[in-house]
Structure 1
């Protein structure tokens, strides 16, 4: 449905309601990505004390279900609620989820994830639908409007790790989750409040966020520049939006229910009351009901261990895959995906020749997209831990020299001490995290963490850096790198494709997919090379991480924006919504597959109750080997897609009618 109220005015060529939705979505993404940046760290370092494998499994189930629920939320909005009511329900559920996350209880932790999963299902597809409804049918401005909206998504995704991530890691997890709650409530209030209050909220939110970025920043020139850049971008967006809203907000009919009346609201709410506990069970893999809190598996541990005895790479991959897919969330996803794929195949075989061949292209490219995101989504799990454990994130004030040997000095412990011996015992990230947890609340007058430990300097310590805590960049803050690169390169790529199109040399969709996969592989090759060139204690220069993220982002810009466009362009009209749902289900499977891949980077946390994470020199090789394999797999997939591209392009029948 496309409606554009006659009362709705334009600003900078776009409906004024777009600027409300820009900030509502920005704050929602702030809350979602703020929690996402902390989630794996929280499970490993927080009260749950999970090992890598368990944390990755929960993370995969959570992100997979997050991508599955929009399919159902969109259907309920289309048939019963309308997009506006669905967005409000989703926002309230997600805010509740972020708030519950502050409670230290396994049951409450999984309930929080379930609330966010359910809320995302209602919020995510429907706020995008309202954007489309602001434009009349056939409007040439719609793509530009979605580009602006997408910038809001990435601005929120940039802000959250810099604020929620930094504060959560530095001052306490509950502060990070609390900020995510506040962000979601601001976004929801912007969406539902009268225009004048919306303007005040946008202005106050921008000012408050800019102040927070100024106050809570590592003592690092690059970090200060990034925070300043983001604060300026937020201020500009705020000024433009406030000015736009002086002309009006979202028209009342945008996002309205079908036939003008909300249907079966009580039944939907009852379904949520029933559905959230079920989601709690699935995201926890029924562990909350089992003695010892271990996840349920339909294939026994003994069977999986027997398979591993076969030895070799195939046995290892097969055992890890079975271990995860035999959990309730994996089974649910596998059954849903199998049924959806089977249904699409049956419908494809019934189509006429041109439409059928186009659907073949859609299905094949969806498979390549699934591969892309199963590698790309290592960012929130294995790459996040790699950044925490093996990437040098500290700018030291000085280094230990021979003149310090034999002395006992007082230092603020940072990542610089990892892998060095203090009193004959190797200092690990587990000790560092434990010290920081014990000393939370010991801030100086400026609010900076301020505690020291005694360090016995030995000859092996020569070259060790010394720096204050504030000179260390939070690992979660690097989750902002990808959206920052999108903000930088997004418009460049859009202009590049337009320029190539005017000259008749724009790559077709299959070629763009191939380029995306190859660049993704180059990104992991950068991580691999960084690990290959790690220093003597296993630490990797941060430049390798940034280079890898840059290649991954340019790969994403080649593939991701054209994916949904490809579906709407190539799918038969009678199947567009179903195929779109299939795309999101494929994305859900990508998330789960990403969790399975990340299992191969899992680091043993010790046995007999010892939860110590090994020193960097012991973990860097694990990440190096897995990232090398991912790089090879991604580049090989890109080459296969490149070889198939001429055939796929021919099957797209770009200048033919499907009835021909």
Structure 2
């Protein structure tokens, strides 16, 4: 796989693999931990989704600053190492069960990711900037993306085994250990990318750091505080208001890059800003894997394992077999009805709700137990598809390239949005097949939905990293990579906002129809922009 690529690729590949191991381990169990009545914080679905959305939004907002500092002052290697160590400590702190510790850990991960994420992607692009490897850049990013998903695939099995046997804390601790391993691997490969770690000269047109602090960072903090303190909430919750307000100065900064760019850079910067805007809706739907789709796996998917399957999943089951209590379903329904009447969304309860949508005739006898595979294992379906499909996608476009028929990177992104929208239709089918959740749905629905959106993801996400590397003016490459992650951040927060609406939809199909409409709207807009985008790429001499 690495044979025809730069020697730096395997080191960056495995560093990113372990970084994503830690991140996706935390994301896979985060909302489950927050909602856990016995060992978590007994949050409601909306409360957990809101905190989850805020976390994954801020994780992808800080690359703006991390990319800027790396471009001008720290360089890529120092930024990546510092970011990795901060995240390792943050994940490890989650071992301590305390809400204050959770917020501290989240803060360290958010800051650490800001230094790590944009700069390792930019460093990879620099490695492929030589004439020898330039034509392999898309393939390099695809392989790099597969490393991300190997980490995302294995982490859920490790976390399921650990939290089932020892508790949530040990699962989070393993994420920290994985991140430390990633930092060690990165340091070991230094000689292969040291020459590509070049800080950019600050030109007279660049905004000084002091001005960025005073005109962007400080206003963002002040705006965020104002958004938080506004009485009531404008967009669902105080944290969402604060996030939206805080983003306004940062969005202004990226818009100013276009207006202040020289004639040569103006059109490429405009193209990137347009792509950043369009892909927000992709992330708004895709990142529901840790919230709404996790809830679908937990409450609406048949997770029972018996016989040989139970033996195979013996390390990845829930901590204890689930005992059926005859009155638990009626009790849940009554509590749910009372809270809905009072305008409150029902919390998780200290008795099993898994049996609620199993027909009474099919429920076990009172006191009997069933074995279930751990909910967070559903988070490995998407990365599993990425690992399986990446070689096929790479081979397909290599075949097309040899025949001079490979579509442009922008065209791949447009088709990625369209195909991703089809995944929402699969979940609409799942809702109808389960009689609107009144019965358990087969896990095959989740597998198929993730399979479809994974094809879209492979056409969009690594291609996004690639197009930023191709079109960015050299002096602000890492900063523009931060812009890609800013769009991801906004989409991530929107995913949390959408997930808070889950309990408000009596017919769950309407929830997934909303996702379909959002993605198809983004796809149509991207297709309308294609001729313009492809023209700009042709001007830059890239495809």
The answer to whether the superposition gives a TM-score over 0.5 is yes
Distance (whole Å) between structure 2 residues aligned to residue 42 and residue 95 of structure 1: 19
Q: What does 1:31-430 align with in structure 2 at a 5 Å threshold?
A: 31-45=22-36, 46-132=39-125, 137-140=130-133, 143=137, 144-168=139-163, 171-192=166-187, 250-251=191-192, 253=194, 297-301=228-232, 304=233, 319-320=234-235, 324-327=239-242, 329-337=243-251, 339-347=252-260, 351=263, 356-396=266-306, 414=322, 421=327, 425=331
Return the match for 1:29 from 20, 28, 41: 20
**Unaligned segments of structure 1, at least 5 residues:** 1-9, 194-247, 260-278, 287-294, 305-318, 399-411, 437-454, 604-618
Q: Which runs of 4+ in 1 moved over 6 A?
A: 427-433, 466-470
Distance (whole Å) between structure 1 residues aligned to residue 74 and residue 275 of structure 2: 33
CA-CA distance at 1:160 after TM superposition: 0.8
CA-CA distance at 1:97 after TM superposition: 0.6
Change (3 A) 1:529 1:102: same
Distance (whole Å) between structure 2 residues aligned to residue 249 and residue 345 of structure 1: 34
Return the match for 1:19 from 10, 26, 29: 10
Quick one: higher RCO (CA 8 Å, sep 6+), 1 or 2? 2
Change (3 A) 1:360 1:121: closer
Q: What does 1:444-593 align with in structure 2 at a 5 Å threshold?
A: 461-464=360-363, 471-535=371-435, 537-573=438-474, 576-593=477-494
Distance (whole Å) between structure 2 residues aligned to residue 84 and residue 186 of structure 1: 16
Further displaced range: 158-167 or 495-504:
495-504
CA contact (8 A) 1:534 1:540 kept: yes
CA-CA distance at 1:158 after TM superposition: 0.7
SS of the residue aligned with 1:395?
A: coil
CA contact (8 A) 1:81 1:257 kept: no
SS of the residue aligned with 2:406?
A: coil
CA-CA distance at 1:255 after TM superposition: 6.9
Further displaced range: 531-540 or 150-159:
531-540
Aligned residues: 493
- RMSD (Å) for aligned C-alpha atoms: 3.9
CA-CA distance at 1:159 after TM superposition: 0.8
Return the match for 2:350 from 430, 434, 437: 434
CA contact (8 A) 1:528 1:624 kept: yes
CA-CA distance at 1:13 after TM superposition: 3.7
**Unaligned segments of structure 2, at least 5 residues:** 201-219, 309-319, 337-345
Equivalence for 1:627: 512
1:642 aligns with 2:527: yes
Distance (whole Å) between structure 1 residues aligned to residue 445 and residue 361 of structure 2: 25
CA contact (8 A) 1:165 1:474 kept: yes
SS of the residue aligned with 1:297?
A: helix
CA contact (8 A) 1:527 1:545 kept: yes
What is the TM-score with the length of structure 2 in the denominator?
0.79
Equivalence for 1:598: 499
SS of the residue aligned with 1:472?
A: coil
What CA deviation, in whole Å up to 9, does each residue of 1:209-263 have, x standing for no partner?
A: xxxxxxxxxxxxxxxxxxxxxxxxxxxxxxxxxxxxxxx874584576869xxxx
Change (3 A) 1:469 1:155: farther
Equivalence for 1:242: none
CA-CA distance at 1:31 after TM superposition: 1.1
CA contact (8 A) 2:31 2:290 kept: yes
Distance (whole Å) between structure 2 residues aligned to residue 136 and residue 644 of structure 1: 27
CA contact (8 A) 1:298 1:326 kept: no
Question: Which structure has the larger Rg?
Answer: 1
Distance (whole Å) between structure 2 residues aligned to residue 460 and residue 161 of structure 1: 30
Distance (whole Å) between structure 2 residues aligned to residue 576 and residue 134 of structure 1: 13
What CA deviation, in whole Å up to 9, does each residue of 1:609-650 have, x standing for no partner?
A: xxxxxxxxxx8x45332112111222233234334434544x
CA contact (8 A) 2:70 2:76 kept: yes
